[in-house]
Amino acid sequence: MNNTATGALPASSAPGLATHELLQRLVEATPARLSLPESINDPATLRDWQAELRAALEPVLGVTPESVQPVAAEISDTVPCAGYVRHHLCYTGAFGGTVSAYLLAPDPPAATPSPGLLCLHGHGDNLGKALVAGVPPNDTVAAYIASHNYDFAVRFAQRGYVTLAPDALGFGERAPDKSGGYHNAMGRVTEYLGLSLTGLRLLDDSRGLTVLASRPEVDPTRLGVVGLSEGGKRTLFLAAFDERVRAAVVSGYFTSLRREVQTWRRLHGWDLCNHLFGLLPVCDLPDVAALVAPRPLLIQNGRRDGLYGIAEVEAGFGTVRGAYAAAGAPDACALDLFDGEHVFMVLAAERWFERFLDVAAISQTG
């Protein structure tokens, strides 16, 4: 999501004349057949529901999430930085694509393998990995990164994690044209093919986990994922489908879509990256988050983030809380509503990963 709609909706001159009123009524009349049932209250039944929902989401994503794929990665450049080294690398993406990325490794390296964190960017003029890896092309972008706490791949590397920041489809080196037109064309062609950007990015991000896990300096049993905005959405879907993710932080991408439709106005600021064909007859975003249970999931949203309503976020989190209670892990999910806008909150995310990726020793050195 890359901008915020403002202004009131115009009033319709006759009941139901306005298109949004018709669509809102259709959404109300369309139940989600696989939303989390309140009757689920034990881990085994929850797992059955999760398996059913994952299968039902494949037509929505337009892809079949894969088990681990062989990934060929090649480092082309290494730059020493303050407390870490930054490698530039490329690796095999979905459907034969190539993913460009930065890998940030603590320097000096730890004596034992470190936890690995996949750090996922959002929009920000389609700049991609440069945002999370703190490699701004100019002072304007540097100020943007600072104002959004966007360089979290750096922050985590300096605290002892090995971090991987890949360019998503349509971002960074994968988008030679940074205009909105490039992004919109990419989204349309994806849909003409019956695919989805969310699904394709899920396949690529799963390969990112494989790259992290294959590094000798990474402990493959301690993998996490974190992202802001579109990166938060990528985090949400990767954690939901790839059980190698042991802990996740979704920042600036969580709400009840069904409720947002009823509010409507905020939807004007959501772009083609948010398309999920036929999602609502199946479930809602909070149900996708419920697929992560019982693995630890922190959701962050700013109270002044114009893309979502707090009431919608809190209502959606009720579903997540229900899933974690059923899983017997009520303390493994949390909603961090902070006083801020569409930005990343570093400290809460750091504490989350310190708690769940066993890096207590690391946290005392950073």
Q: Tell me the window of 111-119, 182-190, 258-266, 300-308 that interacts with Zn ion (CB under 5 A).
A: 182-190
Q: Tell me the window of 177-185, 214-222, 294-302, 335-343 that interacts with Zn ion (CB under 5 A).
A: 177-185
Tokens representing 363 are 């946290």
314 binds Zn ion, rule: CB under 5 A: no
Q: Smallest distance, Å, CB 123 to Zn ion?
A: 6
Report residue 365 CA to chain centroid gap.
Answer: 28
Hey, which bits of the chain come out as E strands? 73-81, 84-92, 98-106, 114-120, 162-166, 218-228, 245-251, 297-302, 333-338
Q: Smallest distance, Å, CB 178 to Zn ion?
A: 12
Identity of the residue, 70 or 181, whose beta carbon is nearer to Zn ion in the bound complex: 181
Q: Smallest distance, Å, CB 131 to Zn ion?
A: 14
Q: Smallest distance, Å, CB 71 to Zn ion?
A: 25
Q: Tell me the window of 31-39, 269-277, 319-327, 354-362 that interacts with Zn ion (CB under 5 A).
A: 269-277
Judged by CB under 5 A, the chain residues 91 through 120 that form the site for Zn ion are none
Identity of the residue, 160 or 170, whose beta carbon is nearer to Zn ion in the bound complex: 170
Number of residues that bind Zn ion (CB under 5 A): 3
Measured CA to CA in angstroms, residue 322 lies from 51, 182, 283 at distances of: 17, 40, 15
Q: Which of 257, 273, 289, 327 binds Zn ion (CB under 5 A)?
A: 273
271 binds Zn ion, rule: CB under 5 A: yes
62 close to 53: Cβ distance less than 8 angstroms: no
- Please count the helices (runs of H) and the strands (runs of E) in the chain: 13, 9
Q: Smallest distance, Å, CB 306 to Zn ion?
A: 17
Report residue 69 CA to chain centroid gap.
Answer: 21
Q: Which of 121, 183, 207, 215 binds Zn ion (CB under 5 A)?
A: 183
Q: How far apart are the C-alpha atoms of 29 and 36, rounded to whole Å? A: 18
Residue nearest to Zn ion (CB): 273
Nearest to 318 by CA among 308, 333, 329, 306: 333
1 binds Zn ion, rule: CB under 5 A: no
Q: Smallest distance, Å, CB 180 to Zn ion?
A: 8
Identity of the residue, 120 or 293, whose beta carbon is nearer to Zn ion in the bound complex: 120
289 close to 297: Cβ distance less than 8 angstroms: yes
Beta-carbon-side half-sphere exposure of residue 45 (alpha carbons within 13 Å): 12
Q: How far apart are the C-alpha atoms of 174 and 196, rounded to whole Å? A: 17
Q: How far apart are the C-alpha atoms of 122 and 131, rounded to whole Å? A: 9
Q: Smallest distance, Å, CB 350 to Zn ion?
A: 28
- What is the binding site for Zn ion (CB under 5 A)? 183, 271, 273
